[in-house]
Amino acid sequence: MVEVIMEDKILLKNFKNIVEFLGEVYGSTCEIALYDLTEGKNEVCAICNNNLSGRKVGDPLTKT
């Protein structure tokens, strides 16, 4: 179980870099968000060009 959690964290770290890259490639009119669905978090863990929605790191998967 611990091994799976560490693997998830490594994957998320790598995907965070991709979020930044895609945000630059697609520009300010395209929001890119990465959600952490591990351990029941269901929250934004990386976001680029968030001026479109105002979401930020730590926000839930959906706003109610």
Closest CA to 56 of 47, 18, 37, 27: 47
List C-alpha distances in Å: 28 to 50, 52, 64.
9, 8, 26
The pLDDT of residue 64 is above 60: no
Region 21-41: mean pLDDT is: 92
List C-alpha distances in Å: 43 to 12, 18, 27.
12, 17, 23
Q: Which amino acid is at 10?
A: I
43 bridge partner residues = 36, 60
pTM: 0.80
Question: What pLDDT is recorded for position 44?
Answer: 95
